[in-house]
Structure 1
Amino acid sequence: MLRFLSGLAVGGEPWRILSTVYGENIMISRDDDDEIWSVGEKREIICIGTQRNQKLRWKNPLGIEVERRRPDNTRVYSQERSVHGSMPTLALLFTRVAAKDSGMWSCHAGDQSLFTNVCVMDPAVFVTTETEVNIDPGRAITLTCEARGKPEPTMLWYRDGNLIVDEYVKGEPSKYKLMTKYNVHSYESLLTISSLEASDAGVYVCAAVQDSEFCSSNKTLDIILNLNHPPTILSDSMSENIYVQYDENITLNCETGGYPLPEITWFQQYSDGVKKLDTDNDWIIITEDNKSQLQFRVDNETVGASFLCTVSNKHGEAEKVFKIVPIIEPLAPDTIILANATDTTVTFKAYWDSIDDESAFPIEGIKVYYVKKSRAGGRKSESTINWNKAKVVILNGSNLIGDLDGIQFTLNGLSPDTTYFMLLRVYNDAAYSVLSKQVKFSTPAFPPMIEEPLIVERDEVNEETEKDDIVVVTEAEDLPGTTDRIASSEVSESSPISVDSNNFYALVFGVGIFVVIGGCMFIMKKMYKVAASALVFCPVIENSGGPPSFVAIFSIRYSISIRKIGNVKSFRVANGNRSEAVGGRRRRRRLAPPLQSDP
């Protein structure tokens, strides 16, 4: 058994043990910093035997044994050591590591050998590279990245973690152009960006990649591209209502973009002008880089006030208005329409007819009450529905889709072919609204083949509210005053639902059965007028104790012969082995039961 010790010797300092590997066919391991050796370093690897009198030998990657003595012109040699007690020890020493030393070196003891990988590189080093560049938009710029090393590094560019390539995109040339220059002692990569826009600003990463048969190295350098442009406020709207309650601590947030970095200033707006705000007992202003916060407590002076966040640099300025609005009790929706329905799901849209900035209120969620018609009292007056038997669903967050004048919501888990009654309240931090008008709706019996809205009276809603998702289903609580309110409210009916085609075909089939049976009875009654043999099939119900079924169909076969004897007609009715002759006068015929063996 052999053991490897990999060490580092610098000058006269004692070598440092990096790792020890025991057993057969086990590679030597090193610290991360020493996986790659640099050209010119002094290194050594120790091979230790486990038996006395073992003869150890080192071989290079070409399989040539390394000499044990050190001639004057030898960079690599082996040397016996006695620092590990009485066990044989042989060190492999590199006085000046060279790139050609890379490969698999092996230590041998008899017919046993162990291998270790040596990787030598001249690691890439970036030289004369500018790491921050400023330029005006609309122009083109060339970023340079220069590095030297051995083996020759491959130069790559990245933006936001994506490799930048110089190729056509959808038939259009790329806005990036790449070129490599070979200098005397280095390699230079050039990245040209044309038609600069604000979105082109940011960090570009230059990577110098070195690959060899035994190892690889990757060094990176960040280059920042700044575009001079006026400041912008990163917000969907430059005016925002902040709904508050008295004695509440609130925070206004303002984030900006632009270069040079804009200065952020807060103002309070009055009817006759504005007042600049600074941090004091009433206001707290926290600004870091391109973000700023204004914190204060809501009181009579701040309710209804407007605050300005102003950002500016040498290229321009921008501002955003925050209006402090007290939260008021929300109103119940004026109109509720059915937007879509399946057999188990119904989607509604609720609208408010006249809401302006002065009467606007925030909506945190809705509370929906619904009850089946069967539980509501059948055909009794709908104004006396017992809403204590209703289910309650609370919807908010992504369960609501809102626009400027309404919200959309969906009820799930309904029963097919069922009529329901529904009420709802909207709520916010201030209070719940009064109950809405009563809505009556029905689910279809079967899922639609193509899901389409049953009623579309408004444009589709695109904007989602940014709330936490909460869905709670409970039994309804008492709703005091509900009956009186419902009695005077309007009832919104859903669209009529068409009869399913399967029901129609079942009805036709049933009518056909009755027609066939009636025809059979009519033929049997008029048999005496028939002048030929007839085979009649009639559907009957099996009487052998099994359940009734249309599948049980038996035949009654009648063989009728007619003879004329003088002026008297006679005929014979035969069924199986039973027969009866009938004379000149009519007699009541007895028919044998149907043959169970007939198909």
Structure 2
Amino acid sequence: MKLHHIILIYFCTSVIVESSKDHDVMIEPIDYGSVSYFTTGVKKSIICRGVNKNQKVEWVDPSGKVVPRQGTKRVYGQEHFVPSLKSRVPALVLTLSRTTVSDTGIWTCRSGNVHREVSICVIDPAEFVSTSTEITADRGRSITLSCQAKGDPEPRIVWYRNGDVITDQTNPTKYKIMRKFSHEGFEGLLTIVALNSQDSGVYTCGSIQENPILPECALNKNLNVTLHVNYPPFFEVENETALVPGMENKSVDLVCSANGYPAPKYRWFKDIGNMLSEYPKDDTQNDDKSVLTITATEFTFGQRYICRASNMYGTVEKTFEIYKMGPPEKPSDVIIENAAEDNLGIKITWNDLVKFPIDEINIQYKECAEGDELKGSEFDFRDAETMTINDVISDKVPQSFDSVVSAVLKDLRQEAAYCIRVRASNEVGVSPWSEVAVASTTKSESLEDHKSEPIVSIQSNTFFYGIFFGCGIGIVAVAYMFAIRLV
């Protein structure tokens, strides 16, 4: 074959390949907008461009049938031409004059032996019907929450609580899941047995629409249902007088908050011997809690105040007593939790009852010799570093607790002994300093501390076996050469 023939064949092949690339079957991208599906009942058109002007273009529906070119059909193809650089290329417009869920699936555009596929998703979005979004029931009773959604594909109902799916296995003694068919479709039922106050809250009904032909064609919608459980008021800490510290001639807030539904109403009383003197309601705030503000004086210290919380299901009372606030008690002990190269972890404890709020803790520390016996005087700690911890314990006093406050002293010197003392303070005053605690930081670990004898031993054995094996090979080689000479 001559050179010019080869060039001609190469040129013709290149033209054909390039022509094929330029005129492949092309389908314009589907634009669903802000969602991922077409809604039923709308009109949509999709253009497919053919290979060349001599090749017929046709659309094939998901069932394998060729789409007719008749404008009277609900789904039809309409031919038109798309301009190109050299000529007009045929194109076929797929028109869905009124979309239905049955249009969901894989559609194919083909031109000769070339074809391209596109997925179409059509959904009739679910709407929640005959579903109450707020339900009230009495404690101890059982209640059935109902949720119904209507749409195409047929919605599947799922119940959630705090983001978790509720099933028959979630808590069989508490929840029961059922499904019922009505004239409007399937209804999802959630029965909650033996209601208590913890059952109050938001339950979510989820509608899940899935198309078996095209799994990615799906839609989830949620509806919240709020359940209120009626129950009488109660205080989380019952039958216990609330002791409230107060500073003389300053106001003290007595805060009363009870659980209950409907929300309790509050009334305040002053205990005078065997009589109760009620405070005007204007002096308190009645919403989710009630606050009675008292000016602490010598006459109010030791005085008892009663908060009464009521709703239609019951009444409960709580007693408050104001006592004179003083400075914090001296810390019982300073415990060294752990020691490192440059820091010490400590815990500060009070073994006795903590009667007053603690607003601040001061920790003083300084280097000292192991044998030093510092008495904790101001002179001993005149050049000490100070660390401060704020907002330690400002409410829920009095109380008894151990090891309640932790701290870490940082940037210390290695292998050094430190003397430590602690005190607490509040608005009224400062506690005495704790007894002095002594602790030492540790030594820094170096590579010399990690010599590995077993590795050395293994290396020595390996070296020995290597020499032994080499010598054995040498002896065998010499014996073999000697044998050859004898032969």
TM range (shorter): 0.5 to 0.7
Partners in 2 of 1:384 and 1:294 — Cα distance? Answer: 44
Residues of 2 paired with 1:384 and 1:249: CA distance?
A: 36
Equivalent position SS for 1:228: strand
Is the 8 Å Cα contact of residues 26 and 50 (structure 2) preserved in structure 1?
Answer: no
Match of 2:364 among 354, 369, 380: 369
Shift of 1:88: 8.1
1:45 aligns with 45
Q: 1:97 and 1:341, CA in 2 relative to 1: closer, same or farther beyond 3 A?
A: closer
Report the CA distance between 1:218 and its aligned residue: 2.1
- Structure 1: distance between partners of 2:334 and 2:280: 48
**Residue aligning to 2:313:** 315
Mapping for residues 510-549 of structure 1, pairs under 5 Å: none
- Structure 1 pair 223–209 and aligned structure 2 pair: CA distance change class (3 A): same
Q: In the superposition, relative to structure 1, how do residues 110 and 234 fare at CA in structure 2: closer, same or farther (>3 Å)?
A: farther
Instruction: Pick the aligned partner of 2:152 from 141, 150, 153.
Output: 150
Partner residue in 1 for 2:380: 386
The answer as to whether partners of 1:262 and 1:311 remain within 8 angstroms in 2 is no
Residues 154/322 of structure 1: CA separation in 2 closer, same or farther (3 Å cut): same
Q: CA deviation at 1:104?
A: 3.1
Cα distance, 1:232–1:80 mapped onto 2, change above 3 Å: farther
Instruction: Identify if the C-alpha distance between structure 1 residues 58 and 371 changes in structure 2 by more than 3 Å, giving closer, same or farther.
Output: same
Code of the aligned partner of 1:140: S
Counterpart of 1:264? 265
The residue number in structure 2 matching 1:431 is: 429
Contact 2:361 2:422 in 1 (8 A): yes
What one-letter code is carried by the residue in structure 2 that aligns with 1:391?
E
In structure 1, C-alpha distance between the alignment counterparts of 2:220 and 2:99, rounded to whole Å: 20
Match of 2:165 in 1: 163
1:43 offset after TM fit, Å?
1.2
One of 327, 330, 337 as aligned partner of 1:329 = 327
For residues 127 and 378 of structure 2, what CA distance do their matches in structure 1 show? 86
- Whether 1:29 and 2:27 are equivalent positions in the alignment is no
**Matching residue's letter, 1:68:** R
CA contact (8 A) 2:258 2:264 kept: no
Aligned partner of residue 289 in structure 2, secondary structure? strand
The answer (yes or no) to whether the contact 2:271–2:305 under 8 Å persists in 1 is no
**Cα 1:311–1:191, aligned 2, differ >3 Å: closer, same or farther?**
same
Find the residue that maps to 2:102 and give its secondary structure: helix
Q: Distance in 2 between matches of 1:49 and 1:314?
A: 74
Note the 1:15-414 alignment, pairs <5 A. 27-32=29-34, 35-38=37-40, 41-47=41-47, 57-62=58-63, 64-71=65-72, 74-79=73-78, 91-105=93-107, 116-167=118-169, 173-183=172-182, 186-212=185-211, 213-214=213-214, 215-233=217-235, 239-243=241-245, 253-259=255-261, 261-267=262-268, 269=270, 271=272, 272-279=275-282, 283=283, 285=285, 287=287, 291-292=288-289, 294=291, 298=295, 304=301, 308-324=306-322, 327-333=325-331, 335-336=332-333, 338=335, 342=339, 345=344, 347-351=346-350, 360-374=355-369, 386-396=380-390, 404-405=399-400, 407-408=402-403, 409-410=405-406, 412-413=408-409
Q: CA deviation at 1:373?
A: 2.8
- Deviation, 1:390, is 1.9
Distance 1:410 1:101 in 2: 67
Q: CA RMSD in A?
A: 4.8
Which of the residues 413, 419, 422 maps onto 2:420?
A: 422
Give 1:276's aligned amino acid.
Y
Distance (Å, rounded) in 1 between the aligned partners of 2:325 and 2:206: 55
Cα offset, 1:426, TM superposition: 0.9
- 1:28 counterpart SS class: coil
TM-score normalized by structure 1? 0.54
Worse-superposed segment, 183-192 or 231-240: 231-240
Q: Which whole-Å CA distance do the structure 1 matches of 2:366 and 2:284 have between them?
A: 51
* AA aligned opposite 1:424: V
**Deviation, structure 1 residue 45:** 1.5
What SS is found at the alignment partner of 1:199? helix
How many residues of Structure 1 are paired with residues of Structure 2 in the alignment? 403
Task: Give the Å deviation of 1:428.
Answer: 1.3
Change (3 A) 1:331 1:203: closer
- Which structure has more RCO (C-alpha within 8 Å, separation ≥ 6)? 2
State percent identity of aligned pairs: 27
Q: Using the alignment, how far apart are the partners of 1:176 and 1:380 within structure 2?
A: 66
Query: What's the secondary structure of 1:207's corresponding residue?
Result: strand
Secondary structure at 1:364 match in 2: strand
Find the residue that maps to 2:330 and give its secondary structure: coil
Deviation, 1:316, is 0.6
State the secondary structure of the residue aligned to 1:100. Answer: helix
**Cα distance in structure 2, aligned partners of 1:345 and 1:390:** 15
| 3-state DSSP of counterpart to 2:382 | helix
Residue pair 1:341, 1:443 contacting (<8 A) in 2 also: no
Classify 1:423/1:174 alpha carbon distance in 2 versus 1 (closer, same or farther; 3 Å).
same
Amino acid of the residue matched to residue 394 of structure 1?
A: T
Comparing 231-240 and 204-213, the one that deviates more: 231-240
The amino acid that maps onto 1:336 is: D
Query: Kindly tell me: are residues 60 and 313 of structure 1, through their superposed partners in 2, closer, same or farther at Cα, counting changes over 3 Å?
Result: same
Q: Report the Cα distance in structure 2 between the residues aligned to 1:317 and 1:61, rounded to whole angstroms.
A: 68
CA distance in structure 1 between the partners assigned to 2:376 and 2:253 by the alignment: 49
> What is the CA–CA distance in structure 2 between the aligned matches of 1:398 and 1:296, rounded to whole Å?
24
Aligned-pair CA distance for 1:131:
4.1
Q: 1:252: Cα distance to partner?
A: 5.6
Distance change >3 Å, CA 303–CA 88, structure 1 → 2: farther
Pair 1:153–1:224, CA change in 2 (3 A): same
> 1:426-446: per-residue Cα shift (whole Å, max 9, x none)?
11133333434x425345979
Secondary structure, counterpart of 2:358 in structure 1:
coil
Q: Which amino acid in 1 is paired with 2:159?
A: W
Mapped to 2, the partners of 1:194 and 1:224 lie a distance apart of 16
* Compared CA separation, residues 37 and 380, structure 1 to 2 (3 A): closer
Classify the secondary structure of the residue corresponding to 2:71. Answer: coil
Q: Unaligned stretches of 5+ in structure 2?
A: 1-24, 445-487
The residue type paired with residue 206 of structure 1 is C
Task: Give 1:105 shift.
Answer: 3.5
Can you list the C-alpha shifts for 1:121-162, whole angstroms capped at 9, x where unaligned? Answer: 344344444444443333434333334443333222211211
Separation (CA, whole Å) in 2 of partners of 1:135 and 1:379: 69
> 2:70 is matched by which residue type in structure 1?
R
Instruction: Write out per-residue CA displacement over residues 440-483 of structure 1, whole angstroms, 9 at most, x where no aligned residue.
Output: 53459799xxxxxxxxxxxxxxxxxxxxxxxxxxxxxxxxxxxx
Quickly say closer, same or farther: Cα 1:277–1:52, change in 2 above 3 A. farther
Cα distance, 1:232 vs structure 2: 2.5
Q: Distance in 1 between matches of 2:397 and 2:413?
A: 27
Q: Is the 8 A contact 1:182 1:188 kept in 2?
A: yes
